[in-house]
Amino acid sequence: MKVTDHIAAAKGETLFSFEIVPPTKGTSIQELYDNIDPLMEFKPPFIDVTTSREEYIYVNKGNGLLEKKLTRMRPGTLGICASIKHKYNVDTVPHVLCGGFTKEETEYLLVDCHYLGIDNVMALRGDAMKDEQSFIPKEGGNHYAADLVSQIHQLNQGNYLHGLKDIEHKSDFCIGVAGYPEKHLESPSLTSDLKRLKEKVDAGADYVVTQMFFDNSKFFEFVAKAREIGINVPIIPGIKPIAVQRHLQILPQIFRIDLPEDLINAVEKCKTPADIRQVGVEWAIQQSLELKAAGVPFLHYYSMGKSENIRQIASKVF
């Protein structure tokens, strides 16, 4: 079922959803299941599964020499989507990236999604690789998420690359895209970034999921500005609880987001890692309750593969 249909069926009730990250190469999928199991009592209508960019690693060739290799450290997005869908009877949303894929490869991936009965995809550009100054698309690939949305939209019309048309069993993907309440890190301004978001919606995106934020007023302002410029699709807030001291440095550094002073002070007063996790949980509960009261369609949690703090939050919110 489409995310937008879940929203319509909920008739204004706020629903629970979350995002998981595939295990690192070779790690058992059982750990992932063990983290999903406790969250199923909150009845998520869908679970997102991220896709990792390829990255360069150095492999020992055995003779003391190192070889530079392009690899994907967390493969298996689509397989995990299929297995979770089957195991838990829940919709899954694979993240589909521009980066590292030609349009042909994207089309094959989407055909696989269609055959697996996946109704939703999250269309993203992906970040630049670690050794790139800025994002470089693969030759023959999509550059911006809006281009990828167009490709998926075209496929939904039955228009395959190279002119195959009017295939009898067309896909009908519901398309999610990313939004940034504190603007995307490369964007010159929030206004400019919102125009880019509008381009994604005009290209066929059906809903938006936001980057994490810790100050709800940023989300409310973002939604108001989006509505002003005619972005009328559902906007789902993304919530991440602070879990370790290091988050105070790395989250602003990686995502260029601000952390509220009260949250920073509360974390800095903590004496143990457990205290920090508790502060993160409490903060996320307060955020969630306020967003729920404001009538957001979903509260979407970034679990990073660990569920205990998300379970604690959800048990107080849902």
What is the set of active-site residues?
19
Q: Contact between 178 and ligand FAD (CB under 6 A)? A: yes
Instruction: For the beta carbon of residue 190, count every other beta carbon within 10 angstroms.
Output: 17
CB 191 within 8 A of CB 205: no
Quote the least distance from Cβ 145 to ligand FAD, whole Å: 3
Per-residue x/- track, 79-98, ligand FAD (CB under 6 A): ----------------x-x-
Measured from the CB atom, the residue of 48 and 119 that comes closer to ligand FAD is 48
Q: Contact between 184 and ligand FAD (CB under 6 A)? A: yes
Which one among 209, 223, 233, 242 touches ligand FAD, defined by CB under 6 A? 209
Which one among 175, 193, 288, 307 touches ligand FAD, defined by CB under 6 A? 193
Give dist(CA 272, CA 207) in Å, integer. 39
Give the interface size with ligand FAD as a residue count (CB under 6 A). 22
CB 280 within 8 A of CB 244: no
In order of 118, 170, 223, 311, the CA distances from 156 in angstroms are 13, 6, 28, 36
Q: Contact between 74 and ligand FAD (CB under 6 A)? A: no
Quote the least distance from Cβ 46 to ligand FAD, whole Å: 13
CB 46 within 8 A of CB 92: yes
Q: Contact between 159 and ligand FAD (CB under 6 A)? A: no
CB 149 within 8 A of CB 204: yes
Q: Which residues pair with 178 in a beta bridge?
A: 209
Q: Contact between 50 and ligand FAD (CB under 6 A)? A: yes
Quote the least distance from Cβ 143 to ligand FAD, whole Å: 8
For helices 247-255 and 261-268, what crossing angle results, to 10°?
A: 150
Measured from the CB atom, the residue of 153 and 196 that comes closer to ligand FAD is 196
Single out the residue of 104, 102, 122, 94 nearest to residue 160, CA to CA: 104
Measured from the CB atom, the residue of 211 and 312 that comes closer to ligand FAD is 211
Burial bucket for residue 176 (CB in 10 Å: 0-12, 13-18, 19+) = buried
Quote the least distance from Cβ 181 to ligand FAD, whole Å: 10
Q: Contact between 145 and ligand FAD (CB under 6 A)? A: yes
Q: Contact between 194 and ligand FAD (CB under 6 A)? A: no
Computed from CA positions of residues 227, 231, 232, 234, in that sequence, does the dihedral angle turn out positive or negative? negative
CB 186 within 8 A of CB 156: no
Quote the least distance from Cβ 289 to ligand FAD, whole Å: 21
Instruction: For the beta carbon of residue 155, count every other beta carbon within 10 angstroms.
Output: 21
Quote the least distance from Cβ 210 to ligand FAD, whole Å: 6
Binding segment for ligand FAD among 62-70, 178-186, 258-266, 270-278 (CB under 6 A)? 178-186
For the segment 104-133, give every residue that binds ligand FAD (CB under 6 A). Answer: 124-127
Residues that bind ligand FAD (CB under 6 A): 50-51, 53, 95, 97, 124-127, 144-146, 178, 184, 186-187, 193, 196, 200, 209, 211, 238
